[in-house]
Structure 1
Amino acid sequence: MLYGLMKYVILGPWLRLIFRPQVEGRENVPDTGPAILASNHLSFSDSIFMPLMVKRKVTFVAKAEYFTGRGLKGALVRMFFVGTGTIPVDRSGGQAAQAALDTQLSVLRAGNLAGIYPEGTRSPDGRLYRGKTGVARLALESGAPVIPVVMLNADEIQPPGKLIPKIKRVKIRFGRPLDFSRYAGMAGDRFVERAITDEIMYELMELSGREYVDTYAQKVKNQQLATAASGPTADPTSGSIAA
């Protein structure tokens, strides 16, 4: 109920009016049945704009802390995530990744759309980073097709760390469904899961035109945090020195 209000009454009409989304390939999202929408991740606003451009509900998972904040800010954040169909997952323990996958599997087995960011976190610099194999595990265990989705300019509209987005036309592109049924029964094979994940990331690279970096984004973020106060630093993805 709240999801419908947020999408069709509260957020949807206003965001369409203000940001005038330009969407390519929306017909690639099936009208019925399960599918995995695998997207690059440039900005917090990705989880707002992309689901609003799909006729069906797209379910993401997010850490449970987003649903337990106090005060007005906590209430608004909680209302937003509940209203956009996001499901809380406890990420404090060692089984956090499995809990997220199990939640998304239940969404897919019910015949619905599951959204996932294969990079696992927002890109630190707009480039596309190495994907985690959870998306492949989802595809293999559910049998659902993977729809690659790229946010083309979300980092220009709302750069990381910025609360207020710039008023600029949103551009989103949906690619053709990827079918991995040829790997049926091979869930758990790390070589197969890596091959599937790399194929998905290649499609995201082609659709977005963004540079691909064969390193996990979180590793780069951790290195940036560790060296932020030390002056000129080495670019961990290029081997060069960046001022």
Structure 2
Amino acid sequence: MIVKPLSRLLVKHDWRGGERIPRTGGVIIAANHLSWTDPVLLSHFLYNHGRWPIILAKGGLFRVPLLGHAVRSLRAIPVARGSSEAINSLKESEERLSDGGAILFYPEGTCTRDPELWPMVGKTGAARLALESGAPVIPVAHWGAHELLPYGEKKPRLFPRKTFHVQVGPPVDLSKYQGRPPHADVLREATADITAAITAQLAELRGEKAPDTPYDPARR
């Protein structure tokens, strides 16, 4: 009642590959992150393709009056960043997957800091969740949300009306990691494969060549 009309009002849509979104069963939707608006716009895309998106959201949002109630009502999963309790969000995500849920996961953990807005080096949560649950990982790239609301800004740029582009890729092949203990090296390699799959879709969407290696803010 809120997200779909708001999405239609704010942006035009260029959606590609939606038929690759599984309509049933647990699935991890791994996407790049450009703006605070893209969870809303991606939710519209996923809902229109038969899935209710379950978003991992910062724990602080659940304590904001009204917004916290809305986030809980949308079945979002709280994430306690920088805390020993952060692992609880992965446990809850795995439970939702076993119940057939669709988890919208941002492997980067935050909006990209890459100067050209390519995906950064990912954190290992999505890979761990995929390997432990066996759920497929569907890479989704999008472009345009940053034009509506650039990261760090509070006032949206409504005019001229922007276009929200989405492209869905085939499931990420993680079969070579099955049966291997989820050590740090395995998780990093699997995460790199997920990031590469998202980046490949984004390169096609943008019609540009992606960097050979993803931006790593820890090394900058």
Comparing 106-115 and 175-184, the one that deviates more: 175-184
Judged with a 3 Å threshold, the aligned counterparts in structure 2 of structure 1 residues 79 and 171 are, in CA distance, closer, same or farther, namely farther
State the SS of the aligned residue for 1:21: strand
1:172 corresponds to 2:172: no
Aligned residues: 206
> Counterpart of 2:152?
161
CA deviation digits over 1:83-141, x for unaligned, max 9? 54322233362242x12211211111111111111111111232321111111111101
> Counterpart of 2:91?
102
- Structure of higher RCO (CA pairs closer than 8 Å, 6+ residues apart): 2
Of 156, 177, 195, the match for 2:189: 195
Instruction: Check the 8 A contact 2:131/2:178 in 1, yes or no.
Output: yes
Of 112, 115, 118, the match for 1:123: 112
Distance across 2 between alignment mates of 1:166 and 1:187: 47
> 1:175 offset after TM fit, Å?
1.0
> 1:80 offset after TM fit, Å?
4.2
1:207 corresponds to 2:201: yes
Instruction: Check the 8 A contact 1:37/1:115 in 2, yes or no.
Output: yes
1:132 corresponds to 2:126: no
State the SS of the aligned residue for 1:59: strand
* Max Rg structure: 1
**Counterpart amino acid of 2:52?**
K
1:85 corresponds to 2:79: no
Instruction: Check the 8 A contact 1:40/1:151 in 2, yes or no.
Output: yes
Instruction: Check the 8 A contact 1:205/1:212 in 2, yes or no.
Output: no
> Counterpart of 1:225?
none
Where do 1:13-162 residues align within 5 Å? 13-54=5-46, 55-69=50-64, 74-75=65-66, 77-91=67-81, 93-96=83-86, 98-124=87-113, 125=115, 126-162=117-153
TM-score, length-scaled by structure 1: 0.77
TM-score, length-scaled by structure 2: 0.84
**Counterpart amino acid of 1:68?**
R
Judged with a 3 Å threshold, the aligned counterparts in structure 2 of structure 1 residues 214 and 13 are, in CA distance, closer, same or farther, namely closer
Distance across 1 between alignment mates of 2:62 and 2:74: 13
State the SS of the aligned residue for 2:84: coil
User: Structure 1 stretches of 5 or more lacking a match?
Assistant: 1-8, 221-235, 237-243
Distance across 2 between alignment mates of 1:79 and 1:32: 27
Comparing 137-146 and 185-194, the one that deviates more: 185-194
Comparing 168-177 and 178-187, the one that deviates more: 178-187
Judged with a 3 Å threshold, the aligned counterparts in structure 2 of structure 1 residues 85 and 49 are, in CA distance, closer, same or farther, namely farther
State the SS of the aligned residue for 1:170: strand
CA deviation digits over 1:130-172, x for unaligned, max 9? 1111111111011011100112122122101222333311111
Identity of aligned residues (%): 33
RMSD: 2.1
CA deviation digits over 1:187-217, x for unaligned, max 9? 4222222221111111111111254654544
User: Structure 2 stretches of 5 or more lacking a match?
Assistant: 204-209
